Amino acid sequence: MRIIGIIAEYNPFHNGHAYQIEKIRSLTQADFVIAAMSGNFVQRGEPALIDKYARTEMALSCGADLVIELPALWATASAELFASAGVALMRKCGCVDTLCFGAETDNLSLLKEVASLLVSEPEDYKEVLSSCLKKGMSYPAARSQAVCSYLKKANQQIPADELACLLNEPNNILAIEYLKAIQAQNAAITPYLIQRTGDGYHKAALNSSLSSATAIRKELLSNVWNDITTLNPYLPEAAYSILKEYLNLYPPVSANDFSAPLSYLLLQQSEAQLAFCGDSTEAIAHRIKNLQKQFHSFEQFCQLLKTKDMTYTRISRIFTHLLLQITSEDYRLGKSLDYIPYLRILGFRKDASRLLTILSNYADVPMISKSANAASMLSSDAARLFDLDVFAGELYENILSGKTGQDARSEFVRNIVRV
């Protein structure tokens, strides 16, 4: 039996995601596909456009057999921690033998070479990295330059332009992080690369039928929220129908919807408290406090704060951590629990219910299908991580409630999605 794992956000689910699942099924003859999916907040430090239950239904209707929530602690973390937790989740399932991911390149051997370098971190590499950081480069840029410098010396056969392109594309970078995590965790999981087709991740305009999630989100947020006919060509039919039904009830959610609570928290928190938030630092906290009077909105303040060595995305993640009450101590706790101390089941296909039996027989950690049962199933430390997931869901729902005038739906009454 072959069970494939995919780590995703599905924000929202589109043709490119359907292509990946269809391709991996046909190439590997997979029996089942398990998706580890971000909940209501995603890795860029933003809320998901639509809630995790609608996105779960999309994924299940378009080829996935089971959707498990990637805990909020890791779903909103750096690419390295996001990938490490995703791989750990697949490992904790105990039955996933292959991890499928997309990348701009089809050169898996080169991706593996870069991943091995970043795990071993030889002295020559660390010297260049340190030098670049001292020059004020952001960590991603410094790391990219250090990798290129080291590999050019070690392997003259790799074209310089291929290396530079490799480390400048978001899906290549995430693929490297998955490979690093598999190696670092000694996971018995085989990586399977599918080259991305269609528009790039950051392409902001709708173009091909495989338009990026970025372009689709931009269209949704700029359009009247109950008129999505322009998106029909870019989503599978089932996903389009689910999205349309959802948007008849709820508008899409954006980072700016959290401007008021964020403004309050920035006023309330001291500089020392801000430095303790998520992956913040004293320098970032100091800059936030210095410019606090110029806060107008979530996104505007991220733009104002960013510098060449402090990216927009990192600032956005810090603000999301502040909203979700995630601290640096939570990251230490999460790592001490080997990233994933439970499997939160969001949904499954009825014709794949056998997969739940397999999972219950092989999973290394408790499976949670009802939030109300979590307290009796988890240690106090694991319960802290689960409480963060619940709070993220409750906060998202309260923002939706404010936008629609409808009552918020509690995480404790939401049911598993069955398709």
Residues annotated in the binding site for ATP, as ranges?
7-20, 102, 171, 196
* Predicted pLDDT of residue 201: 46
Helix (H) or strand (E) holding 194: strand 190-195
CA distance 22 to 8: 15
Mean pLDDT of the chain: 92
CA distance 391 to 399: 12
167 against 393, higher pLDDT: 393
The residues spanned by each domain of the chain are 3-104+176-252+337-418, 108-168, 255-330
* Predicted pLDDT of residue 225: 52
* Predicted pLDDT of residue 167: 82
Mean pLDDT of 272-294: 94
Could you give the 3-state DSSP secondary structure of residue 345? strand
Domain 3-104+176-252+337-418, second-level architecture: 3-Layer(aba) Sandwich (3.40)
Burial class (CB within 10 angstroms; exposed 0-12, middle 13-18, buried 19+) of 21 = buried
- How does pLDDT run across 43-89, given as a tens digit for each residue? 999 999 999 999 999 999 999 999 999 999 999 999 999 999 999 99
pLDDT of residue 200 exceeding 50: no
157 against 275, higher pLDDT: 275
| CA proximity to 114, closest of 51, 163, 65 | 163
